Every structure is written in structure tokens, then in C-alpha cells.
């Protein structure tokens, strides 16, 4: 946790956008971590078939995950990367 000079927590995540067409509480969601420029993405878990296809290419390590976001989220990704 990073604190400012007054001892208040500095929030590094900048909210970019939620999927406006999602039937489940407007997720997926995209944030930008302003401390290092990385993206933080909430998405849908993969089904077993898709997971098997991913693992056939290269197994996903235990400390990583793969998620799915719809193509309609591309504008949020572009915005987060400074291309929006």
C-alpha cells in the first residue's frame, strides 16, 4: 500500500470502463494501474473446452490465469493504453 504525505492511501487503479452490454452487473471491467501502466481486467472464466484449447498450445502456470472478454471491450483497452 502506498501512502501520500498526509498518510492517505494512494489509489493506483484508474477505472476505464465496464461492459455496457453485459447481462451480469456490467462486467467485464478494465482498469489501468497508473503506477506501472499495466492493465487489470475482470472477465469471464473460460469453459472446459476453451481451457483445453489454451493448454494444448501452452499450459497456463498456476500463478497465471486466462480470461475472456468480448470484442466490444476493445475501445476500453485502447483507452487504457492511451490510444483511445
Q: pLDDT per residue over 14-53, tens digit each? A: 999 998 888 776 689 999 988 888 899 999 899 999 999 9
Number of domains in the chain: 1
- Whether residue 45 is contained in a domain is answered as yes
- Whether residue 27 is contained in a domain is answered as yes
- Mean pLDDT (the chain) is 86
- Whether residue 48 is contained in a domain is answered as yes
DSSP string, 7-74: SPBPP-EEEEEE-TT-TTTT--EEEEETTT--EEEE-EEPPHHHHHHHHHHSPPPTT---EE--GGGH
Provide the pLDDT for residue 22.
80
- Whether residue 5 is contained in a domain is answered as no
- Owning domain of residue 71: 13-80
- Whether residue 6 is contained in a domain is answered as no
- Whether residue 26 is contained in a domain is answered as yes
- Whether residue 64 is contained in a domain is answered as yes
| The model scores a pTM over 0.75 | no
Amino acid at each position: 500500500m502506498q501512502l501520500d504525505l498526509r498518510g492517505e492511501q494512494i489509489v493506483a487503479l484508474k477505472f476505464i470502463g465496464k461492459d455496457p452490454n453485459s447481462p451480469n452487473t456490467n462486467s467485464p471491467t478494465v482498469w489501468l494501474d497508473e503506477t506501472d501502466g499495466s492493465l487489470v481486467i475482470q472477465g469471464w472464466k473460460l469453459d472446459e473446452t476453451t481451457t483445453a484449447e489454451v493448454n494444448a498450445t501452452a499450459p497456463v502456470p498456476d500463478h497465471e490465469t486466462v480470461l475472456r472478454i468480448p470484442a466490444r471491450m476493445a475501445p476500453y483497452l485502447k483507452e487504457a493504453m492511451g490510444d483511445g
